Amino acid sequence: MEMPDALFLILFPILGLILIFSFSYKTLKPKTTPPSDPASYPLIGSILSFKKNRHRLLQWYTDLLRLSPAQTITVNLLFGRRTIITANPENVEHILKTNFCNFPKGKPFTELLGDLLGGGIFNSDGELWSSQRKLASHEFTMRSLREFTFEILREEVQNRLIPVLSSAVDVGGTVDLQEVLKRFAFDVVCKVSLGWDPDCLDLTRPVPDLVKAFDVAAEISARRATEPIYAVWKLKRLLNIGSERRLREAIMTVHESVSEIIRAKKKSLDIGGDVSDKQDLLSRFLASGHGEESVRDSVISFIMAGRDTTSAAMTWLFWLLCQNNDVEKKILEEVKGIGSLGLGFEDLREMSYTKACLCEAMRLYPPVAWDSKHAANDDVLPDGTLVRKGDKVTYFPYGMGRMEKVWGQDWEEFKPNRWFDEEPNYGTKPVLKSVSSFKFPVFQAGPRVCIGKEMAFTQMKYVVGSVLSRFEIVPVRNNRPVFVPLLTAYMAGGLNVKIKRREQM
Ligand code: HEM
């Protein structure tokens, strides 16, 4: 017998007892809930609806939120556990800023990623988080880090990304653009964070073990969150079986590989090394006197946060541009006006139309579809929703991008012009309007706003401008791709495209 089957046999009778108890207890009468909330029964809460919709949670939550006058719903889970999901900007501001201290990530969240990320910035609260945040924020505002990052970006685009796409043109085959962009982003984030080059864009070589291990570890850790009963993954971890065994092996590879890089870096710093070796985050964290394990956790958090997010956003934008040629033309106009043959760091600031396109793509397809906190104490959200200590409180960028109340009747349209007060005209430099980060919390907002936001826009504008000015991208299939929300969302099956050289700019 397979071990997961054995686990099922242990849990099945327990679940059965709970169900029988709960059905006979109140003879299947649901508790009174607002019409927008899913039906909830004593003890088992909404677990039946949750299980039924588990494969389409995004759509289920979005539909329920549209029915809710306050754009907030409460899903009752087993044993009185509750998840509050909100798409209401005022609530989001309350959770992420006004009453920030009452909404830490909390143990239930940090446990999910704790084996992989330890106490790294992405996975910690309180003092542990704030000391790392201070150090990282300081480094991220340093001009030297921005220049170092841009140099890495320039090299990676000119010497790797463009040659890879050029050879796809020469061969005339198809490429999975999502995979190419993922490998590109992994190279960039490793060079910035570790000062180490995994060289993933060499498609002739197998993907390095560290990259594979990161993929496995991120996916299995994220899937823990979709288990309706957390005891399932905890028991599997205790018994070291199934997916939890694969997770343990992957985490071991990640930790060992990163520790090896840290030891090599320490050695090179001790003997003086090359100055360019000292620009990366790892060197900066080591120089600030942090211990090896805490530096390891910090840099793993950065790699985790920065690796698939930009590639996901760019993949969806490239797909959307294939459906909206007029928008693509306007990006080309913008790039042409700035300097198509070599975009410089300062030029990127002027690419406001391209930035609007990226924001619009992320409004519809946010790289982080949802994000949760856990209430430290009872509270009341601005829309009147009662929060109990321990409740999971989720703000939901994917649903928010689809709310008529937030974005108007045309929310479904890909319309970069909505990011400007006035329609941008050719010849004039369009100015982006200011949009509340609580209405568009794609990078989160408040004290924990994404630390890599500016770095991400720099990267995405540079890639989009450099690629579109040289190549035409034609998707192989015309069907609407499926958005899969794991820790970072991705396009199911990738974005398979044919690449053509662009005739003239
Ligand atoms: C389009 C690209 C990106 C998006 C949409 C994005 C989005 C987010 C979101 C939603 C969070 C909050 C997650 C949470 O607290 O659970 C976050 C945090 C974070 N991001 Fe990003 N991110 C992007 C790119 C990057 C890049 C390129 C880096 C750096 C290399 C980065 C570094 C971080 C870090 C370190 C945090 C943790 C901040 C903290 O907890 O104080 N991100 N990001």
Ligand 1 pocket residues where CB is under 6 Å: 121-122, 133, 189, 301-302, 305-306, 309-310, 313, 367-368, 371, 442-444, 448, 450-452, 455-456
- Measured in Å, residue 303 CA sits from the centre of ligand 1 at 10
CB 66 within 8 A of CB 46: no
9-20 pLDDT, tens digit per residue, is: 455 555 555 555
Among 13-27, 40-54, 241-255, 330-344, name the one with the lowest average pLDDT.
13-27
Output the CA–CA distances (angstroms, integers) from residue 296 to 168, 285, 301, 307, in the order listed.
37, 10, 9, 16
pLDDT higher than threshold 50 for residue 284: yes
Query: Residue 193 falls within a domain, yes or no?
Result: yes
Q: For the chain, state the CA radius of gyration.
A: 24
- pLDDT number for residue 272: 67
DSSP E strands in 61-192: the ranges are 72-76, 82-86, 174-176
Binding residue per annotation — 450? yes
Query: Residue 77 falls within a domain, yes or no?
Result: no
Among 221-230, 255-264, 395-404, name the one with the lowest average pLDDT.
221-230
Sign, CA torsion 239/243/246/248: negative
pLDDT higher than threshold 50 for residue 433: yes
- Measured in Å, residue 12 CA sits from the centre of ligand 1 at 39
Give the pLDDT band of residue 302 (cuts 50, 70, 90). very high
pLDDT higher than threshold 80 for residue 343: yes
For residue 360, the enclosing domain spans: 129-501
- CATH number of the domain bearing residue 470: 1.10.630.10
- CB-based contacts of 60-63 (< 8 A; 24+ apart in sequence): 61/85, 61/370, 61/396, 61/399, 62/87, 62/396, 62/398, 62/399, 62/402
Query: Residue 432 falls within a domain, yes or no?
Result: yes
Ligand 1, from 309, 359, 488: best to mutate by most atoms within 8 Å of Cβ? 309
Average pLDDT estimate for 128-148:
89
105-129 pLDDT, tens digit per residue, is: 999 889 999 999 999 999 999 999 9
Output the CA–CA distances (angstroms, integers) from residue 229 to 14, 37, 50, 81, 356, in the order listed.
12, 20, 11, 10, 40
- Among residues of the chain, what percentage have pLDDT more than 90? 67
Q: Among the atoms of ligand 1, which is closest to the Cα of residue 313?
A: 1
Query: Residue 212 falls within a domain, yes or no?
Result: yes
The more confident residue out of 469 and 23 is: 469
Average pLDDT estimate for 473-496:
93
- Measured in Å, residue 385 CA sits from the centre of ligand 1 at 28
The pTM (predicted TM-score) of the whole model is 0.90
The more confident residue out of 222 and 436 is: 436
Query: Residue 68 falls within a domain, yes or no?
Result: no
Query: Residue 116 falls within a domain, yes or no?
Result: no
**Mean pLDDT for all residues in the chain:** 88
Query: Residue 356 falls within a domain, yes or no?
Result: yes
- Measured in Å, residue 417 CA sits from the centre of ligand 1 at 26
Average pLDDT estimate for 48-60:
83
**Interacting residues of 131 by C-beta distance below 8 A, sequence separation 6+:** none
Average pLDDT estimate for 166-189:
94
- pLDDT number for residue 276: 55
- pLDDT number for residue 4: 47
Give the pLDDT band of residue 3 (cuts 50, 70, 90). very low
CB 309 within 8 A of CB 471: no
- Measured in Å, residue 443 CA sits from the centre of ligand 1 at 6
Counted domains in the chain: 1
Query: Residue 286 falls within a domain, yes or no?
Result: yes
Average pLDDT estimate for 372-393:
96
